[in-house]
Structure 1
């Protein structure tokens, strides 16, 4: 396994030891060689000595993996789960050969292995968490509280497209989403395992398309707490991008579409929320299109879904962001921070996707898109 620890490799031994003691440890036993394993923004191919990760900072994390076939050239669908680590905590999982997934141990085994970790018995088989990339992860997960994870995660905690077959067939899809479904079904990360059914997905909030008001949804589903909404937005994006979940993509799209359709709330009733939202969306898209491999750390990157399909102007994001920028930039009075982040997001979309967001002659609408084209006026307008 590549170490992924550019900073740790140059670190003073005493500092590294202190990080090992204070950071959490993820002990993963018997993971097959060549398995693609990821934690947060880091993804690696498992080597023969791999037993997990050390120096994991306390807080929310996403762990995901793809098990290989016998030849190592095809992979089962990604399986991922969220967890919250605490200082000096040891989390133990073991590979189940029959089910081809990580499972928990008995309480007695868990205690025994945890003690072994604390006595550094596995230390040379644990890859250090790449602290250089922790800042990127925090930008993607700063609203991902334990409360958010507990509210949304499925029973058992595992998120995988292999359990979404019946849902996928019913999901309304634009042309772009139909291509995305095919990528997830036929791509290299979905060839090797049978599709399973009957499993409950994540407990996402129901966001009716163009029928409910933002204030009503916040009050009814999020106890009026903006950060819970933003936490679900981050949960869904991470589960989609890293966990390869189509259900998560559709939820992320619904949440983004709801906010980008607002015309009054950004300027008056929920300005601070929209500053945080635009900042969150900016970092999601900025990270999602970083395809380059880090040659020093061996980090393979994890932009598994965000490909040229997203550059098309028939994607929902194009017309909704275009309309949203018109609302912000043409307002007679607008908050300075909101204006600044809107400009940053607009620049990112134009430079990354090559979009001309000031071309008024273009008005693309996909008739099959459930989120187009109605714009809903928010409460308080």
Structure 2
């Protein structure tokens, strides 16, 4: 039989038919002849499975195609072993665990796993010739008959999808994943994989259910209950109830409650230490960590429907989009956040039922209010806001207006007017103040008590 020199390929032997399989932003149901995915491009990827297409428990893993330790790569100080083998013909093997009904890595520490990996790789040519490998796609191809123009459109659509995926993952790194998820599993080729499930959670988002231990507690008993070791997320500590420095009083504390720029700066410093492990404070590294956490949490909601990641994504946006001084002081960072948010919203329809529907009662209302506040800060509070942030916000504002019909300009709303009832009677109506708007009766007030003392009413 002729030998095959494969492009980067994922092999998933013994996967049961009708299993939900997802790679990045594409999901499908497996068939009996499905054995893997070929032509995987370099960079970060997320492979996951679920028993059904509905809201069943999903499990997956992050891995990197290419040399993760190469100069200029993404190995940012985390200790990652050097990969073995030919990087141009990379073959990644995942094993189906029948007990937990999940895909798991073939581990380097297990001699049986090493032999199994060699056997599957040796059989790759036969699988290829039987058509058991699907070509990697970043987006579903257009429906309908094949034609030259449609093929060109599909190719352009695919290139755009790959650019989108790169934009959604370009701040991920081994250090970031190690900080959030923990130490990776090392497979037979010495490549790291960070495993995550729908049930993975941060301590602050977990509920104490009788009979099930909380994350990080009695992990052995947790394995007995749910059938696998559950990971605990270590997210950046975002405290929206205290956004001022220790010891702040009076006006300083009130202003910090309205403008959370100090809290953002403090979080960036914490993130730089958490991600760098190099000593000292590197705020650029901290900003990259926050952007990476925004990317990770969004994608874990989109693929695994992870509740804890949704809450952290909302917390980070709630902090960033309520900053004022940071719009000028951290112009590049704020611009990067707006660009990333726009890209995330543009791909949010990739999830069945809609991204915001996962949030229950609120839906996208929380984000609409945040963007309205940010617009007020950008145009009414901050003088001479940077052109970079202004331009990126205009693109975001235009998109949500066209896609969601969100009007972010408060001045476009009539807050008081005459309403004619069905019987012809005319009444004067007044739109009440929203407690979240920090306007009218809800606006923070600083009262001078004399002798330099102040009292805040927020």
Give the 3 Å change call, closer, same or farther, for CA 364–170 of structure 1 in structure 2. Answer: farther
Question: What residue number does 1:103 align with?
Answer: 104
Contact 1:218/1:229 (8 A) holds in 2: yes
Cα deviation 1:24-54 (Å, max 9, x = unaligned):
2111111111111111111111111111111
Query: What secondary structure, in the 3-state scheme, does the structure 2 residue paired with 1:278 have?
Result: helix
Question: What residue number does 1:279 align with?
Answer: 339
Question: What residue number does 1:190 align with?
Answer: none
Shift in Å, 1:310: 8.1
Contact 2:34/2:134 (8 A) holds in 1: yes
Contact 1:162/1:196 (8 A) holds in 2: no
Query: Counterparts of 1:217 and 1:364 in 2: how far apart (Å)?
Result: 28
- Of structures 1 and 2, the one scoring higher in RCO (CA 8 A, sep 6+) is 1
Determine which of 148, 152, 156 is the counterpart of 2:180.
152
Shift in Å, 1:304: 5.4
- Structure 2, unpaired ranges of 5+: 67-87, 107-112, 139-157, 186-193, 209-224, 244-262, 274-282, 416-430, 445-458
Give the 3 Å change call, closer, same or farther, for CA 308–234 of structure 1 in structure 2. Answer: closer
Query: Counterparts of 1:202 and 1:27 in 2: how far apart (Å)?
Result: 28
Give the 3 Å change call, closer, same or farther, for CA 238–313 of structure 1 in structure 2. Answer: closer
Contact 1:239/1:245 (8 A) holds in 2: yes
Cα deviation 1:297-322 (Å, max 9, x = unaligned):
xxxx6565433968968832122111
Determine which of 257, 268, 272 is the counterpart of 1:218.
268
Query: What secondary structure, in the 3-state scheme, does the structure 1 residue paired with 2:10 have?
Result: strand
Query: Counterparts of 1:238 and 1:319 in 2: how far apart (Å)?
Result: 23
Give the 3 Å change call, closer, same or farther, for CA 373–109 of structure 1 in structure 2. Answer: farther
Does residue 81 of the first structure (1) align with residue 61 of the second (2)? Answer: yes
Does residue 161 of the first structure (1) align with residue 198 of the second (2)? Answer: yes
Shift in Å, 1:335: 2.1
Query: Counterparts of 2:15 and 2:50 in 1: how far apart (Å)?
Result: 11
Does residue 121 of the first structure (1) align with residue 121 of the second (2)? Answer: no
Contact 1:237/1:252 (8 A) holds in 2: yes
TM-score scaled by structure 2? 0.61
Query: Counterparts of 1:200 and 1:309 in 2: how far apart (Å)?
Result: 22
Does residue 44 of the first structure (1) align with residue 94 of the second (2)? Answer: no
Query: Counterparts of 2:165 and 2:348 in 1: how far apart (Å)?
Result: 12
Equivalent runs, 1:330-341 vs 2, <5 Å = 330=380, 331-341=382-392
Cα deviation 1:308-362 (Å, max 9, x = unaligned):
9689688321221111111123343122221111011112222222222113547
Equivalent runs, 1:234-253 vs 2, <5 Å = 234-253=295-314
Give the 3 Å change call, closer, same or farther, for CA 318–310 of structure 1 in structure 2. Answer: farther
Cα deviation 1:220-248 (Å, max 9, x = unaligned):
22242121211111011101111110011
RMSD: 3.3
| Larger Rg computed on CA atoms | 2
Aligned residues: 313
TM-score scaled by structure 1? 0.72
